[in-house]
Amino acid sequence: MTAADALLWNIERDPVLRTTITAVALLDRAPDWDRLVATLTRGAIEVPRLRQKVVVPPLGLAPPEWVEDPDFDLAYHLRRVRAPAPGTLRSVLDAAGPLSMAGFDRTRPLWEFTLFEDLEGGRAAFVQKLHHSIADGVGGIRLAAAMLDLERDPAAAPAPSLPTARPFSVGDLARRRAERRVRGVARAVTLAPARLAGLATAGRHPLAAVRDFRTMMASAARLLAPAGPTSALLAGRTLGRRFDTLEVPLDALKDAAHAAGCTVNGALLAAVVGGADRYHEKHGAAAEHVRVDMPVNLRGDDDPEAGNRFAPTRFTLPLGLHDPVERMRVVGAIADRWRAEPALALSDVLAGALNALPRPITTGVFASMLKGVDLTITNVPGIPLPVFLAGAEVLREWALAPPSGAALSVALLSHLDTACIGVVCDTGAVHDVDGFVACLVDGFDEVLGGRGVTRLCSA
């Protein structure tokens, strides 16, 4: 495991910090089951991580390892059920919420997909649950792309056959660690000239080098600082989860952002903060700000689909900005400053340092950072083309991001011309979930300025 992946694995000592990612795809019809099995089989061949489980070395003296599961059984990971009555998207979401908080069998690969059939209108829903250590949001979209078609009935492909994996031993783990050490030494030798040149530059300009070091350390301290108190209205952390979904016209959101001179990310933040502000007013709770966690994507085009390439940023956003244009500008500028933090480049180094601590301490550090967060907000670019899953068209796809210690999460996943908004509330922190979602709808309507319709999706 990389340091970032291992960190997401280790902090689940506290189940409130659980990092399970859930996605719900609404399909125009039930996919062909045999084709779906073949599709997932091919996906597991093309993306080996889907056939791998986690092995923790004896006494935890080394990082966890991804190893091929010799007992991999697709039938365990791919399930098929009838949608709960009355067969609406709402009933699927109500079933998916508890599923998302059920722990994975850690002796198997860390993913489970469930097809819900017999929705109203002959539709179906595909609920995808995977551990965050497998991939982040952007990586998850790349994984999904490997299993989707660009037409409903593409040319038939040969029946795939999974490779046979041999059992893994403690000796194999030791061999892997030795190989990594050799690769690490080789890489250090390769980078030595550049590092020596950097040292020489620092020697010629010592004051500048000290300033740069201080800047980086101050940035790292800001990223790792314990969070302050949460909003009193959003206090309390439990394992209860409620899923909700919204739709927003993507072009209207882009136009609103452009008119305010900010990014879509700024418009998203402004809509969610506006909803949170309305929710506090609705319940007569005074608050000057909310604390936000926003992941920053660090993934490059050459990075593999599996694994995590993001860095979390935590900052406060002001409430009480009733002019939506001003709100977009203010919160967008704050987010942009945090996205430019120098220490984001050290995310792997910081993760490695945290992993080196005893697990209870690592978990405690992250609990102090994450449980003081009110809102987790993320924006993930989706697939911009019509796509099909084993003969069924994907009408919508929502990402239901884990709050991981926050009161709730809001995730935007674009799908064609729609911004699909997934909302996950910790029901112990958000006591009036319907009221919060209604306030969130108003927050988006306010940002859009009447140039589109935001609606709850219930079918």
**What does the pLDDT average to over 80-109?**
92
Domains in the chain with CATH codes: 3-145 (3.30.559.10), 227-382+404-456 (3.30.559.30)
Q: What are phi and psi of 372, to 5 degrees?
A: -90, 10
For residues 144 and 416, give the distance between their C-alpha atoms in angstroms, rounded to a whole number.
Answer: 15
For residues 397 and 26, give the distance between their C-alpha atoms in angstroms, rounded to a whole number.
Answer: 6
384 burial via Cβ count (<10 Å: 0-12, 13-18, 19+):
exposed
Provide the percentage of residues in the chain whose pLDDT is more than 70: 76
Among 131, 132, 280, 415, the active-site one is 132
Residue 231 backbone zone (phi > 0: left; psi -120 to 50: alpha; other: beta)? beta
When mean pLDDT is compared over 43-57, 259-273, 350-364, the highest value belongs to: 259-273
Provide the percentage of residues in the chain whose pLDDT is more than 90: 45
3-state secondary structure of 312: strand
The pLDDT of residue 425 is above 80: yes
**What does the pLDDT average to over 13-18?**
84
Write out the H or E segment, with its range, that includes residue 153: none
For residues 219 and 232, give the distance between their C-alpha atoms in angstroms, rounded to a whole number.
Answer: 28
User: What confidence score (pLDDT) does residue 426 get?
Assistant: 94
Task: Please tell me which residue, 319 or 306, carries the higher pLDDT value.
Answer: 319
User: What confidence score (pLDDT) does residue 185 get?
Assistant: 47
3-state secondary structure of 154: coil
**What does the pLDDT average to over 223-246?**
82
For residues 248 and 455, give the distance between their C-alpha atoms in angstroms, rounded to a whole number.
Answer: 7
For residues 165 and 449, give the distance between their C-alpha atoms in angstroms, rounded to a whole number.
Answer: 56
For residues 221 and 232, give the distance between their C-alpha atoms in angstroms, rounded to a whole number.
Answer: 26
The pLDDT of residue 175 is above 80: no
pLDDT in tens, 178-191: 555 555 445 544 54
Q: What average pLDDT does the chain have? A: 82
3-state secondary structure of 166: coil
**What does the pLDDT average to over 214-227?**
62
First to last CA, the chain: 40
User: What confidence score (pLDDT) does residue 48 get?
Assistant: 87
121 pLDDT tier (thresholds 50, 70, 90): very high
Lowest-confidence region among 27-36, 92-101, 202-211: 202-211
The pLDDT of residue 198 is above 50: no
Task: Please tell me which residue, 62 or 426, carries the higher pLDDT value.
Answer: 426
User: What confidence score (pLDDT) does residue 218 get?
Assistant: 65
Contact 278, 267 (CB under 8 A): no
The pLDDT of residue 146 is above 70: yes
The β-bridge partners of 314 are 293
The pLDDT of residue 167 is above 80: no
User: What confidence score (pLDDT) does residue 359 get?
Assistant: 74
3-state secondary structure of 390: coil
pLDDT in tens, 151-161: 998 887 777 77
Task: For residue 132, indicate whether it is catalytic.
Answer: yes
The pLDDT of residue 328 is above 80: yes
Q: Which two tokens stand for residue 394?
A: 């994907």
pLDDT in tens, 259-314: 999 999 999 999 999 999 999 999 999 888 999 988 776 656 665 666 655 567 78
